[in-house]
Amino acid sequence: MCHPPHDQQTKTSSAANNHNKTSKRRTTASLKPARKIRTKRRKPKYLSLNLKLSPQKNPQSSNRKTKMAIRKQQQLNLFPLHPENQVEDNRDMHEDNNVVASFLFDAATDSTTTLDGLLSSTTTTSDESPLSPPSLTYAYREEGDSNNGLVRTAMRCKERDASEERWVSYSEVVEKKIKEEEANSCVDDDDVGAGAWCAKQVRGQERTLALKLDYQEILNAWSDKGPLYVDGESPQTVPDLHDDNVRSNYLIIMSVFLLAQVGGVGSLWRVPEMASDGGDFKVNEQVGGKEGWKREHREASVLRYKEKRQTRLFSKRIRYEVRKLNAEKRPRMKGRFVKRSSEV
DNA sequence: GAGCTTTAGAAGACCACATATTTCA
DNA sequence: TATGAAATATGTGGTCTTCTAAAGC
């Protein structure tokens, strides 16, 4: 259950208690100097939307204001700004995380790779199936052989040498590809469109092609596929990952989120072509052209996305206002509901 | 740098009960 | 097939506890 932000009063009171205890200890051990005041703030342990919630609540003091501001900076950016609205603040995060992202997605060296394959395959090695999509595990096995190596690699991101840059901008690759194809007089204008996996074309070049995700493209592609949340269904509804269509869409969402977190928005994958029925994603080597995304459709999608983004709400969603009212009226003891007295 | 203590804050548990949903006759 | 009763599931908010990352020693 997702609760609203904790009551500040509770926090302050418990903090006050702690301080009392501390001061007591200090008096007994007065010879020792008091601890220095912390200068750094801890990072949030878990992903929290708390600061996205109810931002308009009246702060009770400027102290609290600054506290909240500091904490806000620490929150993960669950819904990062659209690339065009990004500001410089993100730069540091990108610098820190791009290495992780590059390593995560560097696995995609085969043109047959799909997001599905990339995310679901965890044990494949090049020995087992040379034709199967390269797995994330395989990516790490370039350097190690642990099954959970990828995770460790991600965690170890700080240890990686910054000079070990493997991140290849998709646009660069596409440009190269287009130039090559233009040189061969067989270029298709729209080939830059969503979802071209062009590892084949660049294989053999100096660098291994990294699987890239075009963040904007994915969001645009998703914008006309309905909300991320399943409105009107019970909150217990979870994606049926046995359903190929659902799984594909779900994986895309997760990819967007993951990329937003670890890779920023600077350089991202291109999304595979989405079928017209909104269901499956297909890797189509003949993407673009007349069968691919039509310009008008894409513009409309972008518009829809922008509109949705403008009107996005971060407040807690109350499904049943009546229950809220009832709960508010319900008697409590130390925050817990208690039985109503019979006289009422 | 390892190992310990302290601090602070996120997350989750807890409660009663009205309402929603499902099942069955 | 329609209806109603019974059974079951769900959601709601304030406070407290637990857990744990980070800082300090």
Residue A263 DSSP one-character state: T
Distance CA A24, CA A38 (A): 20
Instruction: Say whether the CB atom of A18 is under 7 angstroms from strand B.
Output: yes
- What does the alpha-carbon distance between residue A246 and residue A239 come to, in Å, rounded to a whole number? 6
How far is the C-alpha of A126 from the C-alpha of A108, rounded, in Å?
Answer: 12
Q: Which has the closest alpha carbon to A266: A175, A170, A157, A154?
A: A170
Q: Strand C nucleotides below 7 A of a protein CB?
A: 10-17, 20-25
Mean pLDDT of A213-228: 49
pLDDT at residue A341 in the model: 74
Which amino acid is present at A313?
L
Whether A109 contacts A208, CB under 8 Å: yes
Residues 6+ apart with CB under 8 A from A38: none
- Residue A6 in this model has a pLDDT that exceeds 50: no
- pLDDT, average across residues A17-27: 29
User: Å from A320 (CA) to B22 (C1')?
Assistant: 19
Please report, as a single letter, which amino acid is at residue A54: S
For residue A143, pLDDT beyond 70: no
Give the pLDDT confidence of A88-117 residue by residue, as tens digits. Answer: 333 333 333 333 333 333 333 333 333 333
CB A214 within 8 A of CB A194: yes
Nucleotide nearest to A1 (CA to C1'): B12
Rounded to whole angstroms, the distance from the CA of residue A318 to the C1' of nucleotide C7 is 26
**Nucleotide B14 C1' to residue A65 CA (A):** 30
A321, with CB counted inside 10 A (0-12, 13-18, 19+), is: exposed
Distance (Å, rounded) from C-alpha A326 to C-alpha A292? 53
pLDDT above 90 for A123: no
Of A49 and A313, more confident: A313
* Exposure on the CB side of residue A101, measured as CA atoms within 13 A: 27
- Highest mean pLDDT: which range of A36-40, A108-112, A142-146, A189-193: A36-40
The pLDDT, as a whole number, for residue A18 is 31
Q: How far is CA A5 from the centre of its chain?
A: 22
In whole angstroms, give the CA distance from residue A197 to residue A201: 9
Question: When comparing pLDDT for A167 and A225, which is higher?
Answer: A225
Spatial distance from the CA of A226 to the C1' of C23 (Å)? 45
Q: Phi and psi for A99 in degrees, rounded to 5?
A: -65, -45
Higher confidence at residue A313 or residue A139?
A313
What's the CA gap between A306 and A219, in Å, rounded?
Answer: 10
Assign A150 a pLDDT band (cuts: 50, 70, 90): very low
Which of A47-51, A203-207, A325-329 shows the highest mean pLDDT? A325-329
Mean pLDDT of chain A: 43
Residues 175-234 of A with CB within 7 A of strand B: 234
pLDDT digits (tens, 9 = 90+) for A245-254: 555 555 555 5
> Going along chain A, which residue ranges are E strands?
273-274, 281-282, 332-333, 336-337
- Cβ-based neighbour number of residue A68 at 10 Å: 17
pLDDT attached to residue A324: 92
Name the percent of chain A lying above pLDDT 90. 5
